[in-house]
Amino acid sequence: MNRKGKLLLIGGILLFYSISLFRVYIAKNRLYSYRHAHPVGSWANLKGTVVSLPLKRGKSYKVLLATPFLAELHGRGDAPRPGDLILVRGRVMSMRGFRNPDGMDREAWYTRRGIVFPLYVRDWELLKARVLPFYRQIPLDFAAWGVARLKEDLGEEAGAVVSSLVLGFRQGMDWGTRSLFTSTGLGHLLAVSGFHMGVVFLFLYTIVRLFLKTGALFYPPSSMAWLPSRLALIPALFLLFFYLLVTGMPPSALRAFVMIACWVVARFLNRDRSLEGALVLAFFLMTLVNPLVIFKVGFQLTFAAMLGVLVVIRLVEPLEGWRAGLGGYVAMAFLVPLFTLPLILYHFHRFSPYSPLANLLFVVPAGLLVILGLFHLLLTPFPFLQGWVLFLEKVLISLFIKGLTLLSSLPGVSQWVTQREALFFSVLVVLGLGTFFLVRRGKRWAWALPFMVFMLFFVPRSQGILLLDMGKRGRALLFQGEEQVLVDAGVVRGFGAWSSLRNTLLRRDVKELDGLVVSRVIPSRASLIPRVLETFRVRRLFLPMEAENRSLEAAILQVARRKGLEVVRVVGPVAVGRISVLPGGKKRLEVVIGSLDLREDSRGWILRDRLLEPWVKGAIEIPEPGWGTGGS
């Protein structure tokens, strides 16, 4: 391509991106206008089509309704079915989360998904059933049937695991079972990704190819001898596209489909197959349709993992035969998690040192479960054959869960990391990988690169007083000086309070607390205390002499005894660094911080006769003369 052609290509790409960004900008402005016209607490009547499977929890449900924009419906009772046109009346719910450093911005999260607001349903009326186009209705019906069938045949819990592995729908899965996957570094198996798409494509391609071979035996014209190996790719690709629609087209699955489609076209036309070119094309197409997709965690993780796969392929190129397969499998189990580790630490503040081992041991059984789950659904008209598949599924899922339980019981299986530790490990991984490839090219000086990571130890630790946003009635105050003390950790209601508190503490490099003060044993002050004790190392726990909520006190003391913590019942003044803890009666404690006129009453924290209101604008940094603060 000459220079003029290259300039035209670059100009065309920039033009398409500009049009796409302008389209997104217009859509966001329309969404904000519609949102502002329906303030929180107002009643709204919406007419639209249900475009998602209902996510049920007990008697409650949650579905997406397509109006001019998407609306998230929350209700109780019978949920509307996918594809139904309904008229719904309800009250607009708040999108406001807990505005703390590194906390989840729920309004921005809803905006990125194109959801105008959540709506609590008072009542709804069915206007017409199944109004979606067939190419959207059939995948939704198949997904609903598949999830229900797996749960009916395998049981609620085992069916939820298999439906998560096969279809990507995690509804109904017990929280303990889900934590087995996330704590061992196997959470990626519960979301449809390139691994699932590859397994499903190989399964479909094998089935279609065998079918065509069988047809060739009955109808043996020589002109059709090439069909089994070449033409089977086309129906397998169309079936894979249907599977993509069934799973809801998550970014990781969409990336894998584009790359598989490029591979199929190249093989069908006898062209060179470039994995790097397919990856670049997938990135271009996905960002062209929606430039904001780059902010999705799934998009970032899938492309980071593919970079690791490309590196592994280059490393095993000199090997041949079974050595290439075995070496590639082991290398992927250990190298791919390294490429995704910086993103995992940044987004989740958590990782598992056993992740490579878990991938090495459980990825193949997970692939077998995906294949068995597909056979389970496809053999529904043949009960006898389905019975054998059902037996194998139950045995394999039982062994799978037992193996995960055993691995999760190992010491240090899941580690929470602070912002400083996340930065340290991320830079170490990047420098380590850079050193490996530079040394392979003969750059001996690259051995010095990993030692640059120790410069991070000179980054100062955060100091100051942070009053966290835990809602209007909740309380949490973090003191960081010579000692780190958390005063209260409670919330009355609100989604994501614990994750917001935990991520804020980790972002401010808090992993060990010198003191945890509970001013009153009531939910608004102490509902999150057991989780704090479970997650962070606490030296001393300060409690009032008597508890107002006996059951909450029992839960706190149970965790404290299991952790072997020092529990202090405050009967007189106690000093914790620059914090003084005083008894305010038998059921409450008072906290005095240094020379600040900072105190707490029933309304909240008072600073120099001014009520601090973190629930209005977010967490408040309280400066004190002579301190450098970390800023939030």
pLDDT at residue 497, rounded to an integer: 85
pLDDT at 540 over 70: yes
pLDDT at 196 over 90: yes
pLDDT at 627 over 80: no
pLDDT at 628 over 70: no
pLDDT at residue 632, rounded to an integer: 37
**How far is residue 300's CA from residue 255's CA, in Å, rounded to a whole number?**
11
Position 64, amino acid: L
- Structure tokens, 446: 């690259």
Pick left, alpha or beta for residue 366 (phi over 0 → left; psi -120 to 50 → alpha; otherwise beta). alpha
pLDDT at residue 239, rounded to an integer: 94
pLDDT at 257 over 90: yes
Average pLDDT over residues 218-223: 52
pLDDT at 343 over 70: yes
**How far is residue 307's CA from residue 6's CA, in Å, rounded to a whole number?**
26
Percent of the chain with pLDDT over 90: 32
Q: Find the DSSP H helices in 349-382.
A: 355-378
pLDDT at residue 630, rounded to an integer: 39
- The set of residues, in sequence order, having a beta carbon less than 8 Å from that of 388 and lying 6+ positions away, is none
Beta bridge partners of 72: 64, 118
Higher pLDDT, 621 or 577: 621
Name the helix (H) or strand (E) containing 552.
Answer: helix 550-563
Average pLDDT over residues 31-49: 91
pLDDT at residue 175, rounded to an integer: 81
**How far is residue 51's CA from residue 73's CA, in Å, rounded to a whole number?**
11
pLDDT at 441 over 80: no
- Structure tokens, 185: 């570094």
Band of pLDDT at residue 616, cut at 50, 70 and 90:
confident
Average pLDDT over residues 95-120: 83
pLDDT at residue 457, rounded to an integer: 61
- Structure tokens, 64: 């997406």
Q: Are 162 and 150 in contact (CB under 8 A)?
A: yes
Band of pLDDT at residue 127, cut at 50, 70 and 90:
very high
pLDDT at 226 over 60: no
**By mean pLDDT, which of 32-46, 178-192, 387-401, 451-465 is the weakest?**
451-465
pLDDT at residue 117, rounded to an integer: 92
Q: Considering only CA atoms, give the Rg of the chain.
A: 28
Average pLDDT over residues 397-419: 90
Higher pLDDT, 358 or 440: 358
Band of pLDDT at residue 201, cut at 50, 70 and 90:
very high
Which has the closest alpha carbon to 447: 461, 437, 458, 459?
Answer: 437
pLDDT at residue 406, rounded to an integer: 93
Average pLDDT over residues 257-266: 90
pLDDT at 631 over 50: no
**By mean pLDDT, which of 271-285, 396-410, 445-459 is the weakest?**
445-459
**How far is residue 422's CA from residue 565's CA, in Å, rounded to a whole number?**
27
pLDDT at 38 over 50: yes
Band of pLDDT at residue 624, cut at 50, 70 and 90:
low
Higher pLDDT, 518 or 96: 518
The SS3 assignment for 290 reads coil
Give Cα separations from 80 to 3, 121, 147, 584, 619 (angstroms): 57, 11, 16, 53, 39
pLDDT at residue 230, rounded to an integer: 75
- For residue 92, report the phi and psi dihedrals to the nearest 5 degrees: -70, 130
Q: At what angle do helices 297-316 and 322-348 cross, to 10 degrees?
A: 150
Half-sphere exposure of 323 (CA within 13 A, CB side): 6
Average pLDDT over residues 12-33: 85
pLDDT at 463 over 90: no
**How far is residue 579's CA from residue 483's CA, in Å, rounded to a whole number?**
9
Average pLDDT over residues 46-57: 90
pLDDT at residue 414, rounded to an integer: 87
Q: In this structure, are strands 484-490 and 475-480 parallel, antiparallel, or unpaired?
A: antiparallel
- Which regions of 294-444 does DSSP assign to beta strands (E)? 350-351, 415-416
**By mean pLDDT, which of 83-97, 448-462, 600-614 is the weakest?**
448-462
Any idea what the Cα angle at residue 348 is, between residues 539 and 417, rounded to 5°? 35
What spatial distance separates the first Cα and last Cα of the chain, rounded to whole Å? 51
Determine the distance from the C-alpha atom of residue 562 to the mean position of all C-alpha atoms in its chain, rounded to a whole number: 30
The SS3 assignment for 372 reads helix
Q: At what angle do helices 383-408 and 156-167 cross, to 10 degrees?
A: 90
pLDDT at residue 228, rounded to an integer: 59
**By mean pLDDT, which of 41-55, 257-271, 510-524 is the weakest?**
257-271
The whole-chain average pLDDT of the chain stands at 85
Average pLDDT over residues 352-380: 92
Band of pLDDT at residue 71, cut at 50, 70 and 90:
very high
pLDDT at residue 242, rounded to an integer: 95
**How far is residue 268's CA from residue 262's CA, in Å, rounded to a whole number?**
10
pLDDT at 430 over 50: yes
Higher pLDDT, 193 or 224: 193
**How far is residue 187's CA from residue 178's CA, in Å, rounded to a whole number?**
8
